[in-house]
Structures are given as structure tokens and as C-alpha cells.
Amino acid sequence: MCGIIGYSGKREAAEVLLEGLRNLEYRGYDSAGIALFTQTGLKTYKAQGRLSQLEALLGDRLPDGQCGIGHTRWATHGAPSDVNAHPHASGKVTLVHNGILENYMDLKEILLNKGRIFTSQTDTEVIAQWLDEEYGKTPDPMAAICRTLKVLRGSYALGILFADHPGALYAVRKDSPLIVGLGQGENFIASDVTAILPYTRDYLLMEENEIAVVTPERAGLFTQDGQPFTREASHADWDISAAQKGGYAHFMRKEIDEQPHALEATLSPRLTGESIDFSADGVEDAFLSDFRSIQIVACGTAMHAGLIGKHLIESLARIPVSVNIASEYRYSNPIVGRDDLVIIVSQSGETADTLAALRLAKACGARTLAIVNVVGSSIAREAERVLYTYAGPEIAVASTKAFSVQMAMFYLLALRIASLSGTLSAKAAAVYVEKLKKLPRMVEDTLKAAGSCKEAVSDLVNASDLFYIGRGLDNCLCMEGSLKLKEISYLHSESYAAGELKHGAISLITEKVPVIAVATQPELLEKMVSNMREVKARGGFVLALCRAGSVIPEDAADRVIYLPDSVEEDLFAPLAAIVPLQLIAYEIAVLRGCDVDKPRNLAKSVTVE
Ligand code: F6R
């Protein structure tokens, strides 16, 4: 969603801001803008559309100046337009905003009654005008910010400039991430560490309701009442190459290839000798024992990883698990309490619905465990315990490597919980641990066969509808494969439990409608073959995805993609099978000329409900 970058130092701010915005593009946006202190005063430039529109507006000679703020907007209040783009200015105040101001109508009404005139439809302009009103009463930025914060309701990360304080950046954070980047003779603010990676990896995490004042020499933190305090700096392990394409046409393709490495990084620290150990994560065995049920809560791809997790935990540990869509959880009056373990899954750690669900589970007294990729994110900080996945930065909007490491974490968790609950012997656990160690290699082998996916897409690319069918674990994978395809290629697809197709949706299977049948589980293969034949009998086109050595009769499939021999264990097949599904979606999107890394209407981190 929206991105913020701010700079104060000795470099040309416009260059730093534009580079920062380029590094934030992946979050999804529909307009962009910058404001900076130039020799002739504070100037704002903004444009609807991609960053190239803003660059065209700025022309060949970028405005001079060493301090400024930049923003990529993802419209919530008011359509995408030049006027609604950020920064928004009022009097001496110019600011950018991520989040949603919930009481903006009430505040706007008060401001309108004071005779103020609004030029945009945004909630953000209300904040700018209110702050300017306060600043007019006492021209002290900190005092005006503190007074303004008292009336704002909702979520906001703000980057603020005051026209008569050149060189100083002010920032505020509530329910929307913001960090302060620490350089030598220069400092930054950013909604996301990737924006500042070219300059520094040291930063201060801003917590709820904190204010930052940033100049080239100082980066100070203050409470919401303006009291200064200090905090130890954090260091990002991610380096800039992880956030660059490195010769790939798209981040998504690069991230698909990074899966073996991400799996290794996530699995190996938890595999000690013959068992699984989370003690270095601070997740002690007692935390993973003795509960009534497990509830997994997440959105989108992370929720699909949760479906795999349910299957694994239930089959290995025989403990009931429910998987909940985070946006529904709060409104479903969940039966949750101190006897339950709630597992929250999120790549970004900032998804608003997931965060809200976590807060509810905590309020109900449940044990909360987060599986998160972004260190220091809101969900990671608020959950009782956190297990980090080590996928590195995921830049493409469509999640790939984060999904694989979330699945990997569920393998580890399911096996550990099963050992603790006594349903898995130490000997059996040790066998699984040996197999877990081979998973990165198995995924690497699967990637080597990428060519077969490229060939297969020629049969699918011109379809207008496509179906995915599978059973058990494969059914969960189908949901993810289908989501991947529709989000990046805009090709309509649906995922059906293979046995459920004949209860309605089979009426949509007509001549040449493609159906991808995922059949990696030997004990379900026969049933899957019957389902494929049902499709073939209606003229549909079947592409089967199955294990090496599986026998797929000629009358059941038009084309078969085989996983490599190294996929030995049924339970681990999803980690391999997801690769061809990701590649098929990717190749189709490329052939259809789609903007693979930044699909329309989508944002990487959905920080509004
Ligand atoms: C799809 C995708 C989304 C996210 C979902 C949750 O490719 O990326 O469905 O999985 O928005 O995001 P996180 O994991 O950041 O909470």
C-alpha cells in the first residue's frame, strides 16, 4: 500500500526521494509525489500514475534541495488523481500520510465551519489543515503535532514538513509502520526498510504514538506528549541486492528461484541433531503443549499456507485446527480463550485484518504465536511469541517464497507439536528431520524442470476461464495456484476440491476449458484420475501435475508435468508442487503482457481493513 520516504542530509533530496519511491513501488500505488525545501521555498510535485509520470513532471533537471518527503499513494478516500496524490499542503504544513483517518468527516466539518476550503477528497488533507490550524495558534511544530494527535482517530504514519523549519522532518506513527533511518550526516524516514537500504541498514523502529524529529545531524524520538527518549538502533540483515532484480526480468521470477535458499535459511536454525528446536526463537516446549485447539488466522496466500498447516498438524498431532480468514475472524464471534493457541501468519506483519485478529485473540486470553517474515513488524511485536521466516525481502506483490517458508514453518511446528503431544515417536521424528534437511534440494531439483511449465502454458494462455482441482494437501495448493494465476495474469480461475466439481461447477467445463489437476498424493491418485476423466468426458483440457512414476492413463490427461524423483515423501510434496503452479502463473502473465510484479489494484502490504 502507500509508501513514505523522507530525507534530510547533504545529498540532492529529489534523487534520494525518487530512488526511495522506486524501492517502494512494489507495495502497490496509483500516484506519487514529493515535496522538498528548494532555494525558493518548499515545493510540491505530484502526479497520478506510475513514477514515470512524476519523473516526467519533474523534467531533466531535478529541483535542488537537501530535505524532503515522498509518497506513493494507493487510493482509499478519493479516486487516484493529481489533486488527491500526496503530499498535501495547508499553510505552512506539507505532509504525506499512510493509513486511514477514521474521523475525518467530523474533523472536516469543524474545519469547514471555520471557513477552511478543501481542494482534495482525501482524509489526509484534513490532517494537514488541522495541523496548520494548530500551528497557527503556536508556531512550535512539536506542540502543534502533539495537540493534533489528540484528535486524530484511525491509522496514520505521517511525514511532515513545516515551511519555516527547512532541513527538519517530522514523523508520527500509529497503526501504520514507520522507521527512522540513521546515516552519517544524513537521516531518513521510511515506511519500509527497503526504501533506505541503498544508504543505511541502521534504523530506529517507531512504536505506536511516537514522534520523530529528523535533521542531518540528529534523529530524535519523542512521546506523544513531546517528551524525548532514546531507543537502541536496529540493524537490517537484508542487503540491497536482495531488494534488486539481479538480472531477472521480474522480482517474482527471482523470488521463485530464491525458494531453496529461503527454505534452507528458515529450516536449518531449527533443526538440531535429530529433533526440532525452537528454543533459540524463545518458543519453549510448554508454549506448544496442552491446548484445546489451534486456530490459524491469516489472509490470502498466508491463509493458504495455514490450510497446509491444518492438514499437517491434524494428521501428525491429532489436534483440531481451524483456519480462519482474518477479515472474517473478528466478526465471527470466535470461540477462543486461554486454552487455545492462535497462530497468526503474515509475510509483512502489517496486514490490518490479521493484526486486528491478533489483538482480538490476545484480548480473549489466547496464546498467540506469529509466523512473520518482516522483523520488527507490528504483528511480530504484538504476538506473544514469534517465529521468523527467513525469506528475505519479498518485493513482487504476488507472494511466492514467503508461501514456501510459511509452509516450511508449519512442517516444523506440526512435527514438534506431534512430538510433544506423544503422537510422534522420537525415532519417527528423527526420520522426518533427515527428510526436512533435504527439502531445499528437492525444490532446487523442481526448479530445474521449469522448462516443462513454459511449454505447458501454450495450452492455457488463451483461455478465458481455468480450473484447478485437487484433493487433500493438493486441494490447498490448488487454491494458492489459482490465486497466483488470477492476481498476476487477470485470467479468471477457480479452485475446486476435485470431488466437489461434480456437485455444480462441472457445468462450466465445456470444450477445451483447461483444468489443472494436482495429484501428488499416491493414495488419492486413483480418485484424481476419475475426476480428470470426468473433465475429459466433457471436452475439457487436462494438465496433470503429479509425482515421478505416477501412472496417468492417456484418456485422463492431455499433458502431464512430473515432479522430480527427489520428491519422496507424500507429506512434503506440496513444497515441490507449488513451484510449477507459480511458474505457470508467471509464464501466463508474461505472455499476456501483464505487469507481473505490480498487478493492477493490488498492494503488497494491505494496511487498511
Ligand atoms: C497473494 C498475496 C496476498 C497476501 C495477503 C497477506 O500473492 O501476497 O494474498 O498473502 O495479503 O499478506 P501478509 O502475508 O503480508 O499478511
**Closest protein CA for atom 16 of ligand 1:** 346
From the CB of 351, is ligand 1 less than 6 Å away? Answer: yes
Which of 345, 348, 409 to mutate to test ligand 1, by most ligand atoms within 8 A of the CB atom? 348
Residue pair 122/98 in contact (Cβ under 8 Å)? The answer is no
Ligand 1 centroid distance, CA of 306 (Å): 12
Over residues 11-30, mean pLDDT: 91
Ligand 1 centroid distance, CA of 441 (Å): 26
What DSSP string describes 327-388? HHHGGG-----TTEEEEEEESSS--HHHHHHHHHHHHTT-EEEEEESSTT-HHHHHSSEEEE
Bridge pairing between strands 93-98 and 156-162: antiparallel
Name residue, grid cell 482525501.
122
Q: Which amino acid is at 479?
A: M
Ligand 1 centroid distance, CA of 479 (Å): 13
∠ Cα 31 36 41 (to 5°): 130
The residue count for the chain: 609
Name the pLDDT band for 295 (thresholds 50, 70, 90).
very high
* Nine cell digits for residue 408: 516450511
Query: In the predicted model, is pLDDT for residue 319 greater than 90?
Result: yes
Over pLDDT 90: what percentage of the chain? Answer: 89
Which of 299, 372, 484 to mutate to test ligand 1, by most ligand atoms within 8 A of the CB atom? 299
Strands in 431-480 per DSSP E: 465-470
Q: How far is CA 76 from CA 99, 192, 280, 361, 608, in A?
A: 9, 20, 41, 27, 9
Closest ligand 1 atom, residue 304 Cα? 10
* Distance (Å, whole) CA 180 – CA 219: 7
* Nine cell digits for residue 119: 481542494
Phi, psi of 400 (to 5 degrees): -130, -65
- Looking at every residue in the chain, the average pLDDT score rounds to 95
* Nine cell digits for residue 392: 528475505
The residues that bridge with 41 in the sheet, in sequence order, are: 38
Over residues 258-278, mean pLDDT: 95
Helix (H) or strand (E) holding 69: strand 67-73
107-162 tens-digit pLDDT: 999 999 999 999 999 999 999 999 999 999 999 999 999 999 999 999 999 999 99
Name the pLDDT band for 545 (thresholds 50, 70, 90).
very high
- Dihedral sign computed on CA atoms, order 562, 564, 569, 575: negative
Instruction: Kindly list the catalytic residues.
Output: 2, 604
Ligand 1 centroid distance, CA of 307 (Å): 14
* 393 alpha carbon, distance to own chain's centre: 10
From the CB of 72, is ligand 1 less than 6 Å away? Answer: no
What residues contact 278, with CB distance under 8 A and at least 6 apart? 270, 284, 288, 387, 412, 416
* Distance (Å, whole) CA 60 – CA 384: 51
Residue pair 46/82 in contact (Cβ under 8 Å)? The answer is yes
512: how many CB neighbours lie within 10 A of its CB?
A: 12
* 256 alpha carbon, distance to own chain's centre: 15
The whole-number pLDDT of residue 608 equals: 72
Classify residue 284 as exposed, middle or buried by CB count within 10 Å of its CB (0-12, 13-18, 19+): exposed
Helix (H) or strand (E) holding 8: strand 3-8
DSSP 8-state class, residue 61: S
Over residues 538-542, mean pLDDT: 96
388-439 tens-digit pLDDT: 999 999 999 999 999 999 999 999 999 999 999 999 999 999 999 999 999 9
The whole-number pLDDT of residue 603 equals: 79
Residue pair 380/374 in contact (Cβ under 8 Å)? The answer is yes
* Distance (Å, whole) CA 191 – CA 155: 13
Query: In the predicted model, is pLDDT for residue 605 greater than 80?
Result: no
Query: In the predicted model, is pLDDT for residue 609 greater than 80?
Result: no
The whole-number pLDDT of residue 602 equals: 83
Over residues 434-461, mean pLDDT: 93
What DSSP string describes 271-302? EETTEE--GGGT--GGGGSS-SEEEEEE-HHH
Residue pair 275/429 in contact (Cβ under 8 Å)? The answer is yes
Cis peptide before 216 (omega within 30 of 0): no
Over residues 231-235, mean pLDDT: 94
Name residue, grid cell 513514477.
51
* Nine cell digits for residue 609: 481493513
Bridge pairing between strands 179-182 and 156-162: unpaired
Name the pLDDT band for 25 (thresholds 50, 70, 90).
confident
* Distance (Å, whole) CA 371 – CA 387: 5
The residues that bridge with 515 in the sheet, in sequence order, are: 467, 542
Name the pLDDT band for 514 (thresholds 50, 70, 90).
very high
Residue pair 168/219 in contact (Cβ under 8 Å)? The answer is no
